[in-house]
Amino acid sequence: MLKQARIQSCVAKDLADMFPVWDDDEQDPDIVKIVNALHDPNFKFSKNHWPLEGVLGAHIVKSEAGKRSLPSDESSRKRPCTASASAASFVGDEGVGVVATMKAHFDQCFQSFSTKMLNGLGSCEKQIKRLTEKVESVERAVEELTTGSAKHTEEELTQQQGTGSKKHEGSNSEKDDAPMKDNVNIGACESVNAPGDAKGKKATVKEEEAPEMKEEEAPEPSFCEIDPKTCDVDFDAVALAKNAKAREAAQIVARATSARYRQLAVTQKSPFLGNSTAKAIIPSSASHSGRVRGYDPFDQTGVKAKHITLMNFIRSNPLHSCLIFTNVQHMEAYINLLRLRLSKHPEWFVSNRICFLNSMFATVWRRDYKDFKNSEPNADGSGKLLPPGAYSYYTGELPIYCQTKKTWAYDVDYLYSMLHIRKDHWVAIWVSFVTKHITIWDSHAATKYASDEQIAEAVEPLAVMIPYLLQTCAPDDDKWRFPYTPFTHSRVPDTEIPQNIQSGDCGVYCLKYIECHALDFLFPPELCDKNIRKIREKMAAELFDETGCRGHDKLDATGLDVYDRKA
């Protein structure tokens, strides 16, 4: 009962009240008629309600050629017509009305569409035929060229086989009965498959069968021996030129490879610290960058035994009592130790694309910087006088001890060396070819024993001549990578590196800066003045144990007299 509608009062209204209008509205009588007709079911539309005015009465017919016949100019003009005429045109007695006109119009449109489609398909077929003919002609030309080259190669090989056939060295008696293989001296580069050190080597040449020869008549593969005397091709130069463009991509791959480090697989990880598998695979901890650390530069394990051996040698050889770490030769000796470790265990260091340089490098370059500035360059800026031995450093032939044979900026990204400032102070430098920047680590940065002006004056020769050397020695297609712009430099603040409070230990701090950074080892608090005696003993014992040095070696003074100077 509650769902039923309860109506208290109902008032019926007229149809006109269903469409309220404003008082000043003016209604269109024609529209009102249409609206009323829509609501009246008995209303029928006739032509008298909407008279046709201006409608053409011309009919569209098909001609014999299938084209549309247009009415004449007089009949195409619009003109008014009466209601009877429009009614006759709408529904004519002859049966040609609006429906017939529209039907004829649609038929004509469909016919024109089909005609255009057929014409388009026909043109496409013609173009496809033309392209097919062109492709066939190209194939025939290629086949003729291939056949001709095969015939030419076969004729040359036949002539060579008939004139210079020899027996192979070391062949046994059984092979003597078989057809002898021919040795042909070839002096052309095209007969060699691989460039490089291919002089005097044997290369197999595959003979191409002629079209008219049968399979059983095809000759066996022959061996061609290259005579170095008759061959004028420099295969080393060809190999270098061929691989010059791919060198940059190879450097990227090498850098990515050098950054890899050994780590445990998921199945080899264990929550226990004493996991033997982990100790066998990763014997030491990893550095802060994730690369495996080879050794701790401040570990005192085994140092005591090495130090005893060293002291015994000094007691038995009083002349070698000068092994205390004070002079330049000892600085060079420890740099040589780092070079030796890098050559034997490159995985210990931050990358295998680093190089350690002795102090002679910076000393000679600072001395000859004045000659470099006073020399006259060429029109393009090249040709200035570089220090002696500069190219040897560039190619890794210097220093002589543990030569790297690596080219700067191609095989080496970073350089480590030392600067001797104010005749009594050592600072470490780190040269980056990637960022084109020189970083200075100074153990007396807090006291500013060497002022900023003195640091800038000491670093300027390297910052200017290193990019000049890179640009001079680079290939022509790589010179754009090495502009003459000098490298920037900066000194690390004293708050970021350990400082030497007492004087006389700057050389030890300098070498430890280089070693820790090359090992990707954060500068530890163990590097301090109170541990300096232990650090000295460790460095001297490791030098004696690993390098076997028993005194002062000769300095790497190669090239000092290249400009008529006395060594």
**Which residues lie below 8 Å from residue 215, measured CB to CB, with a gap of 6+?**
209
Angstrom distances, CA of residue 209 to CA of 153, 165, 170, 542: 10, 20, 29, 68
Strand order in the sheet with 354-356: 354-356, 414-421, 425-432, 437-441, 488-491
In terms of C-beta density within 10 A (0-12 exposed, 13-18 middle, 19 or more buried), how is residue 10 classed?
A: exposed
The domain ranges of the chain are 346-527
Single out the residue of 488, 365, 497 nearest to residue 428, CA to CA.
497
**Which residues lie below 8 Å from residue 476, measured CB to CB, with a gap of 6+?**
none
The Cα 386–Cα 465 span in angstroms is: 7
* Residue 332 · residue 359 · CB < 8 Å: yes
Angstrom distances, CA of residue 529 to CA of 334, 437, 504, 506, 534: 20, 30, 10, 10, 10
pLDDT recorded at residue 161: 57
* Residue 225 · residue 183 · CB < 8 Å: yes
User: What is the chain's alpha carbon radius of gyration, rounded to the nearest angstrom?
Assistant: 48
The Cα 381–Cα 472 span in angstroms is: 10
* Residue 509 · residue 443 · CB < 8 Å: yes
**Which residues lie below 8 Å from residue 45, measured CB to CB, with a gap of 6+?**
37
pLDDT in tens, the chain (567 residues): 555 666 667 777 776 677 677 777 777 777 777 777 777 777 776 766 666 665 554 444 444 444 444 545 444 455 555 544 444 444 444 445 677 888 888 888 888 888 888 888 888 888 898 889 888 888 888 888 877 766 666 666 666 555 554 444 444 444 444 444 444 343 433 333 444 443 444 444 444 444 444 444 555 555 566 666 666 667 677 666 666 666 666 666 666 655 555 555 655 555 444 444 444 444 444 555 555 567 899 999 999 999 899 888 888 876 555 444 446 788 999 999 999 999 999 999 999 999 999 999 999 999 999 999 999 999 999 999 999 999 999 999 999 999 999 999 999 999 999 999 998 999 999 999 999 999 999 999 999 999 999 999 999 999 999 999 999 999 999 999 999 999 999 999 999 999 999 888 999 999 999 999 999 989 999 999 999 999 999 999 999 999 876 655 544 545 444 443 433
Q: Which CATH number fits domain 346-527: 3.30.310.130, 2.40.30.10, 3.40.50.720, 3.40.50.2300?
A: 3.30.310.130
3-state secondary structure (DSSP) of residue 73: helix
Beta bridge partners of 333: none
In terms of C-beta density within 10 A (0-12 exposed, 13-18 middle, 19 or more buried), how is residue 261 classed?
A: middle
**Which residues lie below 8 Å from residue 495, measured CB to CB, with a gap of 6+?**
none
b/e burial code for range 212-229 (CB count within 10 A of at least 16 → b): eeeeeeeeeebebbbeee
* Residue 415 · residue 431 · CB < 8 Å: yes
Return the number of other C-beta atoms located less than 10 Å from residue 186's C-beta. Answer: 17
Q: At what angle do helices 506-518 and 532-542 cross, to 10 degrees?
A: 70
* Residue 389 · residue 559 · CB < 8 Å: yes
Tokens for 271, please give them. Answer: 């929550």
* Residue 402 · residue 562 · CB < 8 Å: no
Cα atoms found within 13 Å of the Cα of residue 152, Cβ hemisphere only: 6
Biggest alpha carbon–alpha carbon distance for the chain: 145
pLDDT recorded at residue 563: 41
The Cα 25–Cα 39 span in angstroms is: 22
Return the number of other C-beta atoms located less than 10 Å from residue 205's C-beta. Answer: 16
Q: How is 464-486 classified by DSSP, letter by letter?
A: HHHHHHHHHHS-GGGGGGS-SPP
DSSP H stretches of helix in 10-97: 29-39, 73-76, 83-90
For CA atoms 391, 393, 398, 402, the dihedral sign is: negative
* Residue 161 · residue 221 · CB < 8 Å: no
The Cα 205–Cα 223 span in angstroms is: 6
Q: What are phi and psi of 422, to 5 degrees?
A: 60, 20
38 Cα distance to chain centroid: 77
The Cα 171–Cα 165 span in angstroms is: 15
3-state secondary structure (DSSP) of residue 327: coil
Strands 354-356 and 222-225: unpaired
The Cα 200–Cα 223 span in angstroms is: 13
The Cα 32–Cα 16 span in angstroms is: 11
If you ran DSSP here, which 8-state letter would residue 494 be given?
A: T
